[in-house]
A and B are shown apart, each in its own frame.
Chain A
Amino acid sequence: MSDRPPLLEIRGLRAAVGDLEILRGVDLCVHAGEIHAVMGRNGSGKSTLSKVIAGHPSYRVTAGQILYRGQDVADLAPEERARAGLFLGFQYPVEIPGVSNREFLRVATNARRLARGEEELDTFSFDDHLEQRLALVKMDPSFLDRSLNEGFSGGEKKRNEILQMALLEPAVAILDETDSGLDIDALRIVAEGVRQLAGPDNATVLITHYQRLLEAITPQYVHVMAHGRLLRTGGPELALELERRGYDWVDAEAGLGSREDVAV
């Protein structure tokens, strides 16, 4: 791994929703220029990890640290984390009737720009800026004038997520099952967008079940999550092995029972 300090470092993170502990000691270190993949079964805690990092209020951090650029952000509001450069691409982007997609994108972009010490964009400048980013995800501009995600297909919602990522230029993007609900063409477009946005100064964490996204975006590190922990880390070949053998062998190697034995 890089000698540079990590952009994101998770240390012994434990988190619960209500009394149910879901994350049971997660450690993860992400440097600039890296792409990580977190794989695991349904219910292994992958999405919870992404939401806890983004600050979802339903989850309570009970132990550990979320260090972003060396500072613990566990007590920051979600908007403060986002402005600082953490981005969560939602598995199920929320539909918000009555809120214009274009207006939302402008407000979000300007919030991030202000946090970076840049000037807010007025409506016209923003539209120019937006047009450039639209091309990246090959999104129909008519979706900008609709309500946020309302009535969008699964593919359009995911493109809209990547469009937001392109506008916000996060330092760390965590993409939660961005490949779910996408047909082959949409997956190719979304993956191409993610690949173009990945650079030496930022990092991407892909959360996925399947190898197919990783065929389009090759990660340097693949982590296997089970029972609320990252049990194993390897290179891209680990994803291929998981595709071939499933997840039970990871449990066995880690000395844990299969998913039937542990409810998360």
Chain B
Amino acid sequence: MTTTRDRWSEALTPATLPRQARDSWRFTDLAPLKALDPGRLAPRPGVIPDLPPPAPGVVRLCLGPDGVSFSPAPADISWPAGVQVCAVPPDVADAPALAVRLGALLPGPSLGLQLAPGARLRLELVLQPAQAEAALAPRLWFDLAEDASLELALGLWGPADSLLVACVGARLAAGAELLEGQRLQGADSAVALVSGQVQQAPGSRYGRTAVVSGWRLARLEPQVCQTEGQAVTTFRDLALARGQATIDLHSQVRFGGPEGRLDQLQRALVDDGAQSVFNGVVQVPREAQRTDAAQLSRHLLLSTRGRVDTIPQLEIVADDVRCTHGATVSSLSDDELFYLQSRGVDRVLACRLLTRGFCRPIFDDLPPLIAAWPSEGLLP
């Protein structure tokens, strides 16, 4: 009989892992993933999170004691009107995202929800394994009918030597809104692979704000397809890369029709010997006229040993569009430091104020549910 541990071992074979030579993995060293011992990885029980109790009307699910299910069980919950549990569509084993390929081979926890027209849900998913060498592979699916609304706060923690493989999928009908906040915190030996696949119908809105801190390797691959355009997508990403971490954001937004909008801001703070990779693909085919897309990548490099690879990638065929992009890499400004110091603020605190200031725009855009979670230990 194949055990869960065996399945992790089988999943992490050279045949499964991408080749470094592939363009999308060119800047990302897979060594931290290969360094994990699949034979020791196993689902670990969840811990009760150190978070304030959920606000009234908010549903909170945590990682169960078996490490592969939610607690309480979704089937046992009295969901708000118009919300019902459904099956998670099967993952495609040959999908380009590594998280999707691995996720197809690994056990849960999994959660699928359907929101009927006009239904409203505020949901917190807190997945925090209790022990090191945890294997965690959540698969989440949300199907929002017309004018349904979901605010999702997704917290993913990675203890030492753990592997997190998470897949989040959603389909938004006309007028539906998904507001997603992600917080990924991992130990400096943990690896996270997170994929997102969202389909947006015209008139829908999808906002995703993610804060990633820690990890040895964290790769996020959110993909959005505005199937017929005329939808609104907002991405906000903050990477806090310290130590030897590699935090890698590969985003892709495709406009399948006219008048779609994208507002994307990625910020990364890179210290020590850490690395930040950003590859933002925006696809605007001929049918996507009058697309309005803005993409900005900003890096703050705090160490001479840090590394930044930033690759805006706009593929524009339509001729009547407004697409902007920008990428900056800077260090702390001497003038800003002197200004603060000239008011009696010591250099260490001045640096902290400036780095926090750099991060602030993303924290300010966190959806309310996840913004209410304590941020100690996240910010420098």
- Does B associate with A? yes
Q: Which of B301-343 contact A (CB under 8 A)?
A: 333-336, 338-343
Please, how many angstroms separate the alpha-carbon atoms of A81 and B364 in the complex?
34
Which chain B residue lies CB-closest to A90?
B339
* Selected contact of A147 from candidates B343, B347, B350, B357, CB within 8 Å: B357
Query: Which residues of B sit under 8 angstroms from A90, Cβ to Cβ?
Result: 339, 342
Query: Which residues of B sit under 8 angstroms from A74, Cβ to Cβ?
Result: none
From residue A239, how far is it (CB to closest CB) to chain B in Å? Answer: 27
* B371 at the A interface (CB under 8 A): no
Taking a contact as CB atoms under 8 Å apart, the answer to whether B345 and A79 are in contact is yes
Taking a contact as CB atoms under 8 Å apart, the answer to whether B361 and A98 are in contact is yes
Which chain B residue lies CB-closest to A114?
B344
From residue A29, how far is it (CB to closest CB) to chain B in Å? Answer: 23
Please, how many angstroms separate the alpha-carbon atoms of A32 and B354 in the complex?
35
From residue A103, how far is it (CB to closest CB) to chain B in Å? Answer: 8
Taking a contact as CB atoms under 8 Å apart, the answer to whether A96 and B340 are in contact is yes
* A97 at the B interface (CB under 8 A): yes
Known: A96-B336, A99-B354. A168 touches B360 (CB 8 A): no
Which chain B residue lies CB-closest to A89?
B342
Which residue among A88, A93, A94, A115 has the maximum number of chain B CB atoms within 10 Å of its CB? A94
Query: Which residues of A sit under 8 angstroms from B361, Cβ to Cβ?
Result: 97-98
Taking a contact as CB atoms under 8 Å apart, the answer to whether B357 and A107 are in contact is no
Interface residues on B, range: 20 to 34
* Selected contact of B342 from candidates A55, A58, A99, A115, CB within 8 Å: A55
Taking a contact as CB atoms under 8 Å apart, the answer to whether A98 and B356 are in contact is yes
Taking a contact as CB atoms under 8 Å apart, the answer to whether B344 and A99 are in contact is no
Which residue among A81, A111, A115 has the maximum number of chain B CB atoms within 10 Å of its CB? A111
Query: Which residues of A sit under 8 angstroms from B346, Cβ to Cβ?
Result: 77, 79, 111
Taking a contact as CB atoms under 8 Å apart, the answer to whether B338 and A78 are in contact is yes
* B140 at the A interface (CB under 8 A): no
Query: Which residues of B sit under 8 angstroms from A108, Cβ to Cβ?
Result: 340, 343-345
Please, how many angstroms separate the alpha-carbon atoms of A24 and B204 in the complex?
67
Please, how many angstroms separate the alpha-carbon atoms of A108 and B346 in the complex?
9
Taking a contact as CB atoms under 8 Å apart, the answer to whether A97 and B357 are in contact is yes
Query: Which residues of A sit under 8 angstroms from B354, Cβ to Cβ?
Result: 96, 98-99
* A229 at the B interface (CB under 8 A): no
* B93 at the A interface (CB under 8 A): no
* B349 at the A interface (CB under 8 A): yes
Task: Render A134-148 as a binary contact track against B, CB cut-off 8 A, 1 for contact.
Answer: 000000000000010
* A56 at the B interface (CB under 8 A): yes
Q: Which of B337-378 contact A (CB under 8 A)?
A: 338-347, 349-350, 353-354, 356-361
From residue A91, how far is it (CB to closest CB) to chain B in Å? Answer: 12
Taking a contact as CB atoms under 8 Å apart, the answer to whether A88 and B342 are in contact is yes
Taking a contact as CB atoms under 8 Å apart, the answer to whether A77 and B344 are in contact is no
Task: Render A70-112 as a binary contact track against B, CB cut-off 8 A, 1 for contact.
Answer: 0000000111011100011010011011110001100110011
Which chain B residue lies CB-closest to A99?
B357
Query: Which residues of B sit under 8 angstroms from A78, Cβ to Cβ?
Result: 338, 341-342
Which residue among A99, A104, A112 has the maximum number of chain B CB atoms within 10 Å of its CB? A99
Please, how many angstroms separate the alpha-carbon atoms of A83 and B346 in the complex?
10
* Selected contact of A82 from candidates B335, B343, B347, B353, CB within 8 Å: B343
* Selected contact of A96 from candidates B334, B339, B344, B359, CB within 8 Å: B339
Please, how many angstroms separate the alpha-carbon atoms of A56 and B339 in the complex?
9
From residue B171, how far is it (CB to closest CB) to chain A in Å? Answer: 35
Query: Which residues of B sit under 8 angstroms from A234, Cβ to Cβ?
Result: none
Taking a contact as CB atoms under 8 Å apart, the answer to whether B343 and A77 are in contact is no
Please, how many angstroms separate the alpha-carbon atoms of A228 and B338 in the complex?
23
* A164 at the B interface (CB under 8 A): yes
Please, how many angstroms separate the alpha-carbon atoms of A66 and B360 in the complex?
39
From residue A169, how far is it (CB to closest CB) to chain B in Å? Answer: 11
Taking a contact as CB atoms under 8 Å apart, the answer to whether B340 and A57 are in contact is no
Please, how many angstroms separate the alpha-carbon atoms of A231 and B353 in the complex?
41
Which chain B residue lies CB-closest to A110?
B344
Taking a contact as CB atoms under 8 Å apart, the answer to whether A96 and B357 are in contact is yes
From residue A167, how far is it (CB to closest CB) to chain B in Å? Answer: 9
Please, how many angstroms separate the alpha-carbon atoms of A112 and B64 in the complex?
51
Please, how many angstroms separate the alpha-carbon atoms of A107 and B359 in the complex?
19
Known: A57-B338, A96-B339. A79 touches B344 (CB 8 A): yes
From residue B359, how far is it (CB to closest CB) to chain A in Å? Answer: 7
Taking a contact as CB atoms under 8 Å apart, the answer to whether A111 and B356 are in contact is no
Query: Which residues of A sit under 8 angstroms from B335, Cβ to Cβ?
Result: 94
Please, how many angstroms separate the alpha-carbon atoms of A107 and B357 in the complex?
14
* A10 at the B interface (CB under 8 A): no
From residue A102, how far is it (CB to closest CB) to chain B in Å? Answer: 13
Please list 28 pairs of residues, one from A and one from B, whose beta carbons are closer than 8 Å in the complex, sorted by A's number: A54-B342, A77-B341, A77-B346, A79-B341, A79-B342, A79-B350, A83-B344, A87-B342, A88-B342, A94-B333, A94-B336, A94-B338, A96-B340, A96-B353, A98-B356, A98-B357, A98-B359, A98-B360, A99-B354, A103-B353, A107-B345, A107-B353, A108-B343, A111-B343, A111-B344, A147-B357, A168-B343, A168-B344
Across the A-B interface, the 3 shortest Cβ-Cβ residue pairs: A98-B357, A111-B344, A98-B360
